[in-house]
Amino acid sequence: AQTVTQSQPEMSVQEAETVTLSCTYDTSESDYYLFWYKQPPSRQMILVIRQEAYKQQNATENRFSVNFQKAAKSFSLKISDSQLGDAAMYFCAYRRISGANSKLTFGKGITLSVRP
Amino acid sequence: GAVVSQHPSWVICKSGTSVKIECRSLDFQATTMFWYRQFPKQSLMLMATSNEGSKATYEQGVEKDKFLINHASLTLSTLTVTSAHPEDSSFYICSASIPGGRSNQPQHFGDGTRLSIL
């Protein structure tokens, strides 16, 4: 079975600074998808970024980028120029390649606070 | 974009009553929907996979008779918490993906239902 590990329960960053959230996973499959979701206090789940394992290039979405290390099974999220609205819980998630109906496996999440 | 609507957003009821939560895909047909439970400051725990026209697939440890799932149409799945007790109080979230897409397609989440059992 696949597992996703987020070992840091909390992190804090100064506004306008950069922060990196860690995630590791375990799988025996060679192809899969990885996601980062954001859950603000409203508890709405928001997709931040996604990475396809067969792509070597790290995904980027504006201020958000990932460092995907397939051999190390590591998938960290970097947030640049942190903003107050970035304060939220962030979940790393894994998904098998078996189609749109395959389920997500989530990590425990990390609570990010942004200091003004 | 694709939207998943969940209703109600918040419900408070007495112990022993049954509560139904609806999850609708508004602009696409969802053959599969997922139901999660989330405690404060914790991750989403998958409870079951709801399949249109067939029985739901429950995760290990989830009571099928306690959490009844019905997916009678391509746009609606319901979760009924039967004979709810205070320990069932939690945040319940549903999600769905546009069918026929690849696994890189994101799951679209409802806004969740906060269930409080007195």
Q: Residue for token digits 């995904």?
A: A59
Instruction: For residue B29, name the pLDDT band (cuts at 50, 70, 90).
Output: confident
How far apart, in whole angstroms, are the C-alpha atoms of residue A96 and residue A110?
22
Residues of A in contact with B42 (CB under 8 A): 108-109
User: What is the model's pLDDT at position B72?
Assistant: 82
Q: What is the mean pLDDT of residues B28-46?
A: 92
**Residue A19 in tokens:** 């922060």
User: What is the model's pLDDT at position B2?
Assistant: 64
B43 CB near a chain A CB, below 8 Å?
A: yes
User: What is the model's pLDDT at position A1?
Assistant: 77
How far apart, in whole angstroms, are the C-alpha atoms of residue B116 and residue B118?
6
Nearest to B93 among A45, A50, A100 (CB): A45
Helix (H) or strand (E) holding A33: strand A32-39
Q: Residue B100 pLDDT more than 80?
A: no
Beta-carbon count within 10 A of A5 CB: 14
User: What is the model's pLDDT at position A2?
Assistant: 85
Q: Residue for token digits 């799951």?
A: B107
Nearest to B103 among A45, A102, A106 (CB): A102
Encode chain A (116 residues) as per-residue pLDDT tens digits: 789 999 999 999 999 999 999 999 999 998 899 999 999 999 999 999 999 999 889 999 999 999 999 999 999 999 999 999 999 999 999 998 776 568 899 999 999 999 99
* The residue type at B117: I
For residue A108, how far is the Cα from the chain centroid? Answer: 11
User: What is the model's pLDDT at position B51?
Assistant: 86
Q: What is the mean pLDDT of residues B90-106?
A: 78
Q: Which of A32, A38, A43, A94 to mutate to test the interface with B (most CBs of B within 10 A)?
A: A43
Q: Residue B104 pLDDT more than 90?
A: no
Q: What is the mean pLDDT of residues B73-85?
A: 94
What value does the mean pLDDT of chain B take?
91
Q: Residue B101 pLDDT more than 60?
A: no
Q: Residue B1 pLDDT more than 70?
A: no
Q: Is A100 left (phi over 0), alpha (psi -120 to 50) or beta?
A: alpha
C-alpha distances in Å from residue B49, one per residue of A13, A49, B1, B58, B103 = 37, 24, 23, 6, 15
C-alpha distances in Å from residue A42, one per residue of A38, A88, A89, B8 = 11, 9, 11, 15
Residues with Cβ within 8 Å of residue A78, at least 6 apart in sequence: A18, A19, A20, A21, A64, A65, A66, A67
Q: What is the mean pLDDT of residues B1-30?
A: 92
C-alpha distances in Å from residue B57, one per residue of A58, B30, B32, B49, B88 = 34, 16, 10, 5, 20
